[in-house]
A = this chain, B = another copy of it.
Amino acid sequence: MIIDCHGHYTTAPAQLQDYRDAQIAHFENPSAPPPRLADISDDQIRETIETNQLRALKERGADMTVFSPKASAMAHHIGDEQVSRTWTRINNDLIHRVVSLFPEHFIGVCQLPQSVGVPIRNAIEELERCVVELGFVGCNLNPDPSGGHWSGPPLTDKSWYPFFEKLVELEVPAMIHVSGSCNSNFHATGAHYINADTTAFMQFLQGDLFTDFPDLKLVIPHGGGAVPYHWGRYRGLADMLNKPPLTEHIMRNVFFDTCVYHQPGIDLLFEVIDIDNILFASEMFGAVKGVDPETGHNFDDTKRYIDALNLSAEDRHKVFEGNVRRAYPRLNRALESRGK
């Protein structure tokens, strides 16, 4: 099997954005009409998936996508706790509908109802609902719900611990994934995303999170941000900070995905990062939707870059399937229950 661990429902029917627009308008001006999600039919969902993610999945030769709401639209910096909670629930329910319509090809990962200044503990209820009731296998955890102001504490701060405890208890990993940016310094997908990946890794390097949570599994997307390119810097910083070598510390709990959109980047990722820490992913359709004029193929068709590495059968199985099943135990059990 070939499992893409990082896909977003960026093609949802227009009713979803209409709801969001009305929700924000109502929050900003309570005299505006309260938001109402117009009916979305199964056929509409089918069409948005079949003509987009499922089509490309099949064309590119993959089997399944670990699927979550559009990351840039989580926008935890907008509104308040109630706005975030309602918006999150609607998005997760929509993912559940996609998964119910295409159970062979999609499995759910949830958005969380985060908000600036609101304890992450308050997100546990929605996590449990999605995992226990809806069969989701992971979540996207935003390390900066302020949207580019980084006003909260680092991920190694004890305030995050109740949530990590629940992740371990439920046996689900979190992908560390920011949302849109409301800071004009940071383009969302060109700066904020990549910076957050790099930042999270360095927080883990400085901290001691995985001594407290030896079973916690976290995924840093977008190829680990800047980290593999600067692997020597991070190895050296670990040494300077009197931390264990990266392979004996962070990399027992952290995975990088393969959302790196050119061959030399993928080459580097596989050269410096242990094969056991790499998860196949494309973030289809996400930050970069076009065709690379240098190759004639989509930038985000990352399977092609990995195929070009000519990995051994064993390594290929790890990246495309084995590591993902290990990082997402509930995905593994769901597949096993289907005889896969």
Contact = CB atoms under 8 A, between A and B. Distances in A.
A268 B154 contact: no
A230 interface: yes
Contacts of A186: 150, 199, 202
A23 B234 CA distance: 33
A194 B299 contact: no
A interface bracket (residues with beta carbon within 8 Å of B)? 35 or more
Contact of A232 (B143, B190, B292): B292
Contacts of A261: 230, 232-233, 236
Nearest to A206: B187
A230 B260 contact: yes
A265 B199 CA distance: 19
B191 A198 contact: yes
B262 A235 contact: yes
B265 A231 contact: yes
A199 B271 CA distance: 26
Interface in A189-234: 189-191, 194-195, 198-199, 202-203, 205-206, 222-223, 225-226, 228-234
Interface of A: 143-144, 148-150, 152-154, 157, 183-187, 189-191, 194-195, 198-199, 202-203, 205-206, 222-223, 225-226, 228-237, 239-240, 260-262, 264-265, 267-268, 271-272, 287-290, 292, 294, 299-300
